[in-house]
Structure 1
């Protein structure tokens, strides 16, 4: 079995993981980066490349940004993390540009009011874009940055378990998809930056297929605390047909421009003034209407953008969207009239982002010694709803902080490495060639179906308990898997490892959603329709204790 040793092990090959790895390497640490996909891929690569940068327009500063984040997160945020996010956001932008990526500037080569725009939930324009294909440019720049830093990179390798010694995380057991072999990584510290878990809701997601919640499950199994796992953000506007394009992102509330409106299947107006609303506000209104039977035959509502064509500002916004390439998927799916905003779009929410995640301090350190988190896998910054264009800034800010803190902790230290990992290794090597009854991918689909139907945009106790029963049945079925004996690129084996992670995360989300008996942000309970500030301005903390899922609630911290 291959064994690799290093100071810092970074799990995740997107923006947060690569930034943490580069930062730690620059501090003199010996760094290994493990990526389930090719380096620079994941949700980072498929993003539009928009990033928040407060202070560009007159009257804006980090304090205004801070207030918007707290308000947008409906007072569930960790104010200390928000403070860092708001103050450090411009540094995140500069850091990414230092890797080779470029954001839009005015004719003088500067950030100015001409190149920033307003997204829903922000009180002032502070979002900076980049040319079409921004996510690809970001991925390539990150890959180049990692190469320059001299980081050892292992691509198409998935983390299966974390290693311990003396109650400290000391590495990970991983599976190399290309070679079909187990690799044991031993390290002084581990930074988890594996992204979210949007694939739990396939096909109703705009996320990459690799975001199966691996980091949440790894941290939970290691005994780390997780926070507010019920808070799953759904982007309000995604395609509903054809089936092959279901879940494809077409826009957030600001897409509606000044005059867009949302109608039900009978043409009744459901929402107006969408452009300044948060994602949670629009999604929740859509969810209620859909649960009341107002949806189209494809399960969506009708986004009517045609009123924008009557005003100069509306027509300008159409041109901006066209030039950014945002309308091409609509043209392909719905035709030329929809592309020109002359025909309504059939849209429905799609899983987009996880606000909950691993509970950390301001350095990205979890409750378990030696374990750090950065990026979407980290919880607490966004509370109950994330504002648009903040996540990319978060990747680089908290990737930097986690990498720096992990390197500082390990500098000059010698750690003993855990022994007795035979069982963890055997659990992986023993998968190949099983002759059970269920294909892993079929169980993926069963789990995704119940998560969308019972733990999706609308929730109530009956459905949540039905989801828990289905999760238990799938867990039982997962003991009887049919796995091909193929060695290299054994997708059955990959799907089996992912299934274990997905089942853990599905239970975390569902149990937490049962506990929160209110509607707040992205969490909509049909049986508890109102926000309960008196009883539920609280964070839900989850951890594993004696092989059981343990919960407690904590009053949200006061403003920093």
Structure 2
């Protein structure tokens, strides 16, 4: 098999991946952008397109933004990463605009108080809205990649990272269109593979590609992960019809000054939602639903009607309309829901993964030659991400990872590929089409998704988590006997099989990390440990591979990589 040679391979072609790839290429590196989806897809494409900045208002300084990040993240953020995010947030819209994105501007062509938004958890208006939302961002990313001097391989899923001498040497992947393995030799890999929301389908608003690949790939190669138990649930998503379960309906900052949360019997649970974080609202909702206080559809009631009586409330309706959320409400619940004339039936949905690969300020992981950016990386957000910071993070840390990776590649020799390991991996891949085992991969994927929602969902308990660990082990045993159709080209069962293996590994790390953290903090809610415990647990949980198995360590926040 031919071996392709590059200085850098960037895996993932959303905002972080494209930004890293074109930045590294501009710095002189020979770059391959490899993605299992088309360029500009991933969760970037389905976002509402709101990007955090800083300094639009004179009182909004990086120090203020930093405080918001750390308070919102309940003090699990890596301070160095949060500081970078706050100090460079203003670069994010500029980077996006350099790629071709257009942002809403005022009559003078500037970004000012009049066009800025205050997203969830932020003290001030500091976020800006991309025209065309996520699709506009995605189209700009695709165009930017086309203009850049990079090679592209789409519809290709990475199967394993290769190491030699304790550092990155390359990777093995599967080209879905060609139906054949791909081997790449490179001293640097950037993981920009996104999150893991699809492990909770249908209770997620994430893309089908968000299967947690990068976490498993990095872990297997020897990189450290941090706070993998911190899976963010957005509080407001559709509960019905079945085809729309989990679809995003908004976050606390969108619900206006008079938004109220009611239980299934109409009893008021929360007011003042507008100023609360996602974690604060989702936590209350999850606990009420656990008590059985929900509606017949398994949700609670978001009552926005009183907003129509005030100018600021009507402005909140207009904002929801502009970002497309009212259209979703109308499709799910009808015209009265669109007009805020009746409450919405809502429930938490998996939206974002705060944990991830442990990085430094330049995106470098603990494994030499391996970098990470975007949702694949952990530490920026701590235990709860603020609204609109995810998109800003893509551009800020995508750029940083691209620059650092290019510098590393310039000074690095090119380690040889571990030929036996690479050949074995390629041969295993080539043998997947037509394999005649017992289980279809998609059937096991669906079992894993149900397991994660039931055992490692919005409210967790030791009994359920232990059951989850045991059931994941059973699924892993079943995954050793797969049945896949014989087609080689565009055989999506091969994709399912590759993702299943990586999902099983990521799910196990998430579950065991959740079992380890014996407190409630941020997105992680333990029914058996219902309170935050700063004395014991204001600390990061670091996952690393040791003697072929998972080792978890509790370490000071923001400790050495």
**Short-chain TM bin:** over 0.9
CA distance in structure 2 between the aligned counterparts of 1:519 and 1:261, rounded to whole angstroms: 24
Q: How far does residue 392 in structure 1 lie from its aligned partner after superposition?
A: 0.5
Task: Determine the structure 2 residue equivalent to 1:401.
Answer: 400
Tell me, yes or no, if structure 1 residue 305 matches structure 2 residue 304: yes
User: Aligned ranges for residues 144-159 of structure 1 at < 5 Å?
Assistant: 144-159=143-158
Deviations 1:393-445 (A, max 9, x none): 10011111111011001115431221222111122112111111211111011
User: Aligned ranges for residues 48-447 of structure 1 at < 5 Å?
Assistant: 48-131=48-131, 133-418=132-417, 419-420=419-420, 421-447=422-448
Q: Which moved more, 1:222-231 or 1:322-331?
A: 322-331
Q: How far does residue 319 in structure 1 lie from its aligned partner after superposition?
A: 2.2
CA distance in structure 2 between the aligned counterparts of 1:172 and 1:92, rounded to whole angstroms: 30
Q: TM-score, with normalisation over the residues of structure 2?
A: 0.98
On the 8 A contact 2:130/2:137 being kept in 1, the answer is: no
Q: Which moved more, 1:519-528 or 1:325-334?
A: 325-334
Q: How far does residue 325 in structure 1 lie from its aligned partner after superposition?
A: 2.2
CA distance in structure 2 between the aligned counterparts of 1:118 and 1:80, rounded to whole angstroms: 24
Q: Report the CA distance shift for 1:308/1:162 in structure 2 as closer, same or farther (over 3 A).
A: same
Tell me, yes or no, if structure 1 residue 453 matches structure 2 residue 454: yes
Task: Determine the structure 2 residue equivalent to 1:529.
Answer: 530
Q: What are structure 2's unaligned runs of at least 5 residues?
A: none
Moved over 6 A (4+): none
On the 8 A contact 2:48/2:323 being kept in 1, the answer is: no
Task: Determine the structure 1 residue equivalent to 2:19.
Answer: 19
Aligned residues: 557
CA distance in structure 2 between the aligned counterparts of 1:108 and 1:255, rounded to whole angstroms: 26
User: Aligned ranges for residues 470-481 of structure 1 at < 5 Å?
Assistant: 470-481=471-482
CA distance in structure 2 between the aligned counterparts of 1:120 and 1:192, rounded to whole angstroms: 27
Deviations 1:239-275 (A, max 9, x none): 0100001011110111211101011110001111101
Q: TM-score, with normalisation over the residues of structure 1?
A: 0.98
Q: Report the CA distance shift for 1:247/1:2 in structure 2 as closer, same or farther (over 3 A).
A: farther
Q: How far does residue 380 in structure 1 lie from its aligned partner after superposition?
A: 0.5
On the 8 A contact 2:260/2:270 being kept in 1, the answer is: yes
Deviations 1:182-203 (A, max 9, x none): 0001112000000000000000
Q: Secondary structure at the match of 1:46?
A: coil
CA distance in structure 2 between the aligned counterparts of 1:417 and 1:186, rounded to whole angstroms: 8
On the 8 A contact 2:540/2:558 being kept in 1, the answer is: no
Q: What are structure 1's unaligned runs of at least 5 residues?
A: none
Q: How far does residue 540 in structure 1 lie from its aligned partner after superposition?
A: 0.3
Q: Secondary structure at the match of 1:244?
A: helix
Task: Determine the structure 2 residue equivalent to 1:44.
Answer: 44
CA distance in structure 2 between the aligned counterparts of 1:504 and 1:557, rounded to whole angstroms: 25
Q: How far does residue 320 in structure 1 lie from its aligned partner after superposition?
A: 2.6
Q: Secondary structure at the match of 1:104?
A: coil
Please provide the CA RMSD for this pair: 1.0
Task: Determine the structure 2 residue equivalent to 1:3.
Answer: 3
